[in-house]
Every structure is written in C-alpha cells, then in structure tokens.
A and B are shown apart, each in its own frame.
Chain A
Amino acid sequence: MPVYLLVAYIIFCVTPLGLAFSIAARRRKVEREIAALTKK
C-alpha cells in the first residue's frame, strides 16, 4: 500500500477522534469548575 495513502487515512481516522477528545477534555474542565463553584 502506498505510504501516501496510509498517512492520509491515518489522518482521516485520528483527526476527528482528536477533535472529539479535545472537546470532551475542555467540557470536563468546565464541568469541574462549575461543580466547584456550585459547591462554594
């Protein structure tokens, strides 16, 4: 399999997953801050 094809499909698979994890991580951080403020 050509290396260009392999690299392209790694990018296609990893990038949306990366964005999903990034959004989830940012949301978790915000939710933690909300929880801390609510407790206060």
Chain B
Amino acid sequence: MGQKRLVDRALVGASGVAFLVALGMVFFYAPREATMGEVQRIFYFHVASAWVGFFGFFVTFVGGIGYLATNHRRWDILAFSSAEVGLVYISMTLVTGMLWAKPVWGTYWTWEPRLTISAVQWLLYVAYVMLRGSVLSPEREARFAAVYGIAAFVTVPLSWFAIRWWRTIHPVIVSGEGMALTPKMIHTLLVSVAAFTLVYATLLRQRIALEHARDRLAALRLQDEAAAS
C-alpha cells in the first residue's frame, strides 16, 4: 500500500473515531445546561463547525497569498479546496444556529450584527466557489480567485469581533474573563473542535487529490487533442 493511501486511511480512521468520541461526550458527558436545557447541546458541534469554516477560509486566504507570490498551481488548489470544505461547514453552522435560535430566541433568524455578517460571508464564499467554474482562462481565474479569497477573509475577523464590538444577542463564549462554561463543557467543546479539525483535514486532502486528478485529465485531453490534429 502506498504511503499516501496509508495516510488517507489513518486520517479517515482517526477522524471517524474522534467524531464518535465527541458525539458521545456531547450526549453522555457534558452536563445539561440549566437555562436552555437539552437544546444547548447544539452549541458544541455548532462552535466546532464555525471554527472549521473560519479555519478553512483562513487556509484559502493563505493559499491566495501563496499563489500571488509564487504563481504556483499548488497554492491555488489549496485555496479552492479549502474554500469548498469551509463553505460546507459554514452552511452547517448557519443552519444549526437557526435550529438553536428558534427555541432560545423564539425566531430562526434576526438581522443582528453577527448573523448579518455570517449571511454576507456565506454569500461571498458561495460566489467564490461559483467563480471557480467561470469561463475565464485558468491563470486569470486563479489570480482573480486569489485576490477575492484574500478580500473575503475580512469577514472572519469581522464575524469574530461583531459580538464583542456591537450590541448583539448572540452569546459570547470566549471573552477577556475566560470561558463561561463548566470544565466538562469545555472538555466537550475542545474534543469537538479537535474532531471537526481532523474531519476537515481528511476532507481537504481528498478534495486536493480530486483537483490533482482533474489537472491530470486536462493534460491528457490536451495530449489527445494534439495527437488527433
């Protein structure tokens, strides 16, 4: 078995186990929150999912800078692949946040600063992923996407600070005074974040491999066309 395949299998196994452990901790280890009750348990995977989404967009930001600095396709592939995975996680964060908000706030959605920035961020990255299938030449598309990915990243710190700078109803979990959670809740959150990060790494690796395969196919098609003409 090749080394790459071995790493792939190890990553899939580790992320699967970590995910199940985190799931078990959410339901059997973390205590029931006094005010919100059972629905508060959405919080653990919701925060982990948001972290992965933000981290995914950070990798896209780094990939964009790398591409502009080196013009190397490797960076473009990293940026694009991470944006796609990050977008799926941010979509999941938005939907599960709405499911938490309904019983707690009495509404699925309200146009307060954090949620508004999250909606704008989601739309920006949907546009980024759609842009990648555009009719521009590959080099122009990659260059434009790199600049776009760098600019769109501004929504990540904005989203983080929105609940600290402005009046908002979104809870602040991590503040200057530490975390407003019991130790068991913190353990569950940290394991969830670790599990989601592992799943992200697994998905990113697979997504990058897909893009490399597409490049091989494009090169073969060019060879085939050249041979035919």
A residues sitting closer than 8 Å to B (CB atoms) are 1-2, 4-5, 7-9, 11-13, 15-16, 19-20, 23-24, 26-27, 30-31, 33-34, 37-38, 40
Contact = CB atoms under 8 A, between A and B. Distances in A.
Given A4-B42, A15-B88, A37-B224, 13 more contacts: A1-B38, A2-B39, A8-B46, A8-B100, A9-B23, A9-B45, A11-B95, A11-B99, A15-B92, A16-B88, A23-B203, A23-B210, A38-B220
Nearest to A19: B88
Contacts of B85: 19
Contacts of A9: 23, 26, 42, 45
B210 A26 contact: yes
Contact of A30 (B19, B23, B103, B213): B213
Q: Give chain B's interface residue range (CB within 8 Å of chain A).
A: 35 or more
Interface in B34-59: 37-39, 41-42, 45-46, 49
Interface of B: 19, 23, 26, 37-39, 41-42, 45-46, 49, 85, 88, 91-92, 95-96, 99-100, 102-103, 199, 202-203, 206-207, 209-210, 213-214, 216-217, 220-221, 224
Contacts, number: 75
B133 to A, nearest CB: 13
A34 B19 CA distance: 34
A4 B92 contact: no
Given A8-B46, A12-B92, A30 B100 contact: no
A1 B216 CA distance: 49
